[in-house]
Amino acid sequence: MAVSIDDLMASYALQIGAFLHKAGYKIDFSPESLAELDRFFDEQAPGGQARPKGLLARELGIRLMAIGAYAGEVVRMKVGGTWVGDPDDPEMEIKVHLDLPDGITVFPTQRVMKRYRQGPENSLRAWGHRCGLPPTRPAAAPRGWVVPDEGEGELEALPLEIFAKPSLVERLWLDRPAVQIGLVLWVLMAFIGGWYPPLAVISLLIGLVGGCGMVLMSWWSAFRYVWKNEPGFCLFFLFPFYFIRYAILTLPHTRRAVWLLAGGLGTVIGSLVVLMPIQMLGAYLAGNVGKPKPAIAVVDNGQAPRIAPAVAPGNGPPAARGAPDPTESDMFVPPPPGAPPFTPPGVLPPPGSMPPPGFVPPPGFMPPPGTMPPPGYIPPPGAPPFGLPGPDIRRPRQGDQAAHDARVAALRPKSIDEAIRNVDSTDGAVRRQALEYLKETPRDAGRPDVAEKLLAMAKVDPERVTMEALLKWSGPEQFAGLGELLLRVPEYQATKVLKAMMAIDREKTLDLCGELLGNRSLRTWVKMVMGDEKEASERVLIPRLSDPDRDVRYAAADVLRGVGTSKSLPALEAQIAREGDATVKRTMESVAKSISRRKR
């Protein structure tokens, strides 16, 4: 997603403003806040030098750039104007400028750099007055400042594109009135839902989809930025702590999304808890008050008591008039206490029930799966055990498996030539058996046509069986083809291809690994392979420390952490002295310390 210069400068201003506000400075995008910036430089950079362990002690360049963006945004918000610059220009922090409505061009970032180096004679408060801001007083006496928690000032670790180009949904959530109106409508729907439950359910679903969708969108934007800039931290970023630290505590619209989600869910659930019982009680009273309750009577004929509707004498079935019920005979013995109900003799029991003691199964009785035999039950000859399939069911299953095994054996090729012909078959089973045969057959150096055939197949579809057979048959003639295939195979197969290439030509493979350190999709697997080679990898990695690509330098230093020896220290120290990227420089310093400790 392309980022415009206006959005980029606004995001820098928002982030440095939040950072300085946490440090104790009055930063609110007002003209008076430029005087606070003067106070900031007087405290943090006396004499044109950053105070040790102060707010400018690290990431000086990007923080000065962000302060310049803030100063320009203060002027632009009050006077007007347009940012001009190219976000992709390496010298953007020097060339970016602000065109004011009266035709004057100002360079806020350059002005901030002069304020840092030359001191109070380049006051930002006076510069703002010359740009058209109303005159302001100097900042009050220093009130003291605090260093925010570790990580709160790392502007590179914040997802800039979340501020840069908001989508339509994000614009709505960034608009505070829209959030407030939505919350009011949500509360009304929740209370109305107390009398009409479907509306409450709809409101709950809208809240879940809207609130969770916004939170997930914020998480995805932040995660993409971390994946792009610091892939090694992605695993930790999956934990809620890092999302809360870098998104909810930093991004205003994410905080609104979380509060709106929590408030809406609390309102809906609270209204349901309070109003639903009232509604249910009203429905119960409306349906039962004034209606006679049916009378019941207990029938006891010497066996298990049962409950039946009360009837007038002389009416109803014979059993209700006191006559014997033919279904209630002395042959039926009630089940013991705690046993599931069971049906009388001659009726199939339901699954999971237990027959009573003395139960005699009728002819052709088949106990359902899961039933339990009664105490002392003896099955008749040929009857299966309770809950298990009989031999007539097991026999067809074994026959199906034997037929399947016979069909697979018939498809198995008998020679290499037959297997090469079968890999082109349109029948998937025939092709798979041919590849399985080649995978299990030892490599024949006199048959390079097999490896070439498998290499051509892998370039079209690098499925697992094809790749395993290819790596088994590959030789020096296929080294170049494997290197080309390395960029096409799925990531989980890359390490197997690299190890097969190592077995063919170790030195060439290590040189290729050095070239692939800048490849994001293969970097992890390349670092794993190089980490196993120790001294041989160190020879390849030392020249890569000065590579023009920032990612290559970072990856080379990271691998040297595990394989580096004292031979790497001169190259590391030389590159540290001229390294311009702060993250890479810190990594190289850490690696140099690790190697020095190992050396001792």
Q: Which residue has the higher pLDDT, 307 or 112?
A: 112
Cα distance between residue 26 and residue 529, in whole Å: 52
pLDDT confidence of residue 358: 60
Cα distance between residue 370 and residue 489, in whole Å: 49
Is residue 330 assigned to a domain? Answer: no
pLDDT confidence of residue 113: 92
| DSSP class of 333 | P
pLDDT confidence of residue 112: 92
Is residue 371 assigned to a domain? Answer: no
Tell me: do 471 and 584 sit in the same domain: no
Q: Which residue has the higher pLDDT, 265 or 439?
A: 439
Q: Please enumerate in sequence order all residues whose Cβ is within 8 A of that of 521, keeping only pairs 6 or more positions apart, or say none.
A: 491
pLDDT confidence of residue 420: 79
Q: Region 550-576: what's the mean pLDDT?
A: 84
Specify the long-range contacts of residues 563-568, CB closer than 8 Å, at least 24 apart: 563/530, 563/531, 563/533, 563/534, 563/535, 563/537, 563/538, 564/538, 564/591, 564/594, 564/595, 565/535, 565/538, 565/595, 565/598, 565/599, 566/595, 566/599, 567/538, 567/542, 568/538, 568/541, 568/542, 568/595
pLDDT confidence of residue 295: 45
Tell me: do 563 and 494 sit in the same domain: no
- Give 375-404 as a DSSP string: TT--PPTTPPPTTS--HHHHHHHHHHHHHH
Question: From the CB of residue 167, how many other CB atoms can be counted at a distance below 10 Å?
Answer: 11
Tell me: do 16 and 115 sit in the same domain: yes
pLDDT at 566 over 90: no
Q: Which residue has the higher pLDDT, 250 or 119?
A: 119
Instruction: State pLDDT tens for residues 373-382.
Output: 665 666 666 6
Number of domains in the chain: 4
Task: Identify whether the C-beta of residue 124 lies closer than 8 Å to the C-beta of residue 111.
Answer: yes
Q: State the helix-helix crossing angle for 506-515 and 523-531, rounded to 10 degrees.
A: 140
Is residue 301 assigned to a domain? Answer: no
pLDDT confidence of residue 309: 44
Instruction: State pLDDT tens for residues 37-85.
Output: 999 999 889 888 888 888 888 888 889 999 999 999 999 988 889 999 8
Residue 419 is encoded by which pair of tokens?
Answer: 């297997």
Tell me: do 445 and 483 sit in the same domain: yes
Q: Region 24-33: what's the mean pLDDT?
A: 86
Task: Identify whether the C-beta of residue 169 lies closer than 8 Å to the C-beta of residue 138.
Answer: no
Q: Please enumerate in sequence order all residues whose Cβ is within 8 A of that of 541, keeping only pairs 6 or more positions apart, or say none.
A: 514, 530, 556, 559, 560, 563, 564, 568
Q: Please enumerate in sequence order all residues whose Cβ is within 8 A of that of 548, keeping only pairs 6 or more positions apart, or say none.
A: none
Task: Identify whether the C-beta of residue 435 lies closer than 8 Å to the C-beta of residue 466.
Answer: yes
Residue 532 is encoded by which pair of tokens?
Answer: 């196993």
Helices (H), ranges, 4-157 = 5-22, 33-44, 60-79, 92-95, 108-118, 124-130
Which of the residue ranges 373-387, 449-463, 471-485 would you say has the lowest mean pLDDT?
A: 373-387
pLDDT confidence of residue 146: 43
CA-based radius of gyration for the chain: 39
Task: Identify whether the C-beta of residue 194 lies closer than 8 Å to the C-beta of residue 200.
Answer: yes
Is residue 464 assigned to a domain? Answer: yes
Instruction: State pLDDT tens for residues 308-349.
Output: 444 444 444 444 444 444 344 333 444 455 554 444 444 555
Tell me: do 138 and 178 sit in the same domain: no
Q: Please enumerate in sequence order all residues whose Cβ is within 8 A of that of 456, keeping only pairs 6 or more positions apart, or say none.
A: none
For the chain, helix, strand, coil in percent to 5 are 60, 5, 35
pLDDT at 124 over 80: yes
Closest CA to 320 of 295, 353, 354: 295
Task: Identify whether the C-beta of residue 485 lies closer than 8 Å to the C-beta of residue 497.
Answer: yes
For the chain, the average pLDDT equals 70
Tell me: do 139 and 27 sit in the same domain: yes
pLDDT confidence of residue 70: 93
Q: Region 360-375: what's the mean pLDDT?
A: 59
Instruction: State pLDDT tens for residues 249-305.
Output: 555 555 555 666 666 666 667 666 776 777 677 777 765 554 554 444 444 444 444
Residue 587 is encoded by which pair of tokens?
Answer: 């990594």
Tell me: do 61 and 21 sit in the same domain: yes
Tell me: do 177 and 264 sit in the same domain: yes
Residue 588 is encoded by which pair of tokens?
Answer: 């190289």
Q: Taking the mean position of all CA atoms in its chain, how far away is CA 523? A: 20
Instruction: State pLDDT tens for residues 140-150.
Output: 544 444 444 44
Is residue 487 assigned to a domain? Answer: yes
Is residue 470 assigned to a domain? Answer: yes
pLDDT at 29 over 70: yes
pLDDT confidence of residue 222: 60
Tell me: do 539 and 475 sit in the same domain: no
| Cα–Cα–Cα angle for 596, 599, 600, rounded to 5 degrees | 95
Q: 451, 475, 504: which is the final residue of a domain?
A: 504
Tell me: do 17 and 132 sit in the same domain: yes
Tell me: do 530 and 496 sit in the same domain: no
Which of the residue ranges 108-117, 198-207, 347-356, 511-520 would you say has the lowest mean pLDDT?
A: 347-356
Domain span holding position 599: 522-600
Q: 128, 144, 160: which is the final residue of a domain?
A: 144
Task: Identify whether the C-beta of residue 264 lies closer than 8 Å to the C-beta of residue 189.
Answer: no
Q: 257, 282, 307: which is the final residue of a domain?
A: 282
Is residue 514 assigned to a domain? Answer: no
pLDDT at 549 over 80: yes
Q: 218 pLDDT band (50/70/90 cuts)?
A: low
pLDDT confidence of residue 510: 78
pLDDT confidence of residue 205: 65
- Greatest mean pLDDT among 362-366, 442-446, 449-453, 521-525: 449-453
Q: 594 pLDDT band (50/70/90 cuts)?
A: confident
pLDDT confidence of residue 68: 92
pLDDT at 229 over 70: no
pLDDT confidence of residue 38: 92
pLDDT confidence of residue 512: 77
Q: Region 417-438: what's the mean pLDDT?
A: 79
Tell me: do 277 and 176 sit in the same domain: yes
Q: Region 86-90: what's the mean pLDDT?
A: 80
Is residue 107 assigned to a domain? Answer: yes
Task: Identify whether the C-beta of residue 277 lies closer than 8 Å to the C-beta of residue 223.
Answer: no
Q: Which residue has the higher pLDDT, 535 or 67?
A: 67
pLDDT confidence of residue 327: 40
**SS3 (DSSP) at 83:** strand
* Single pTM value for the model: 0.32
pLDDT confidence of residue 285: 73
Q: Which residue has the higher pLDDT, 40 or 198?
A: 40
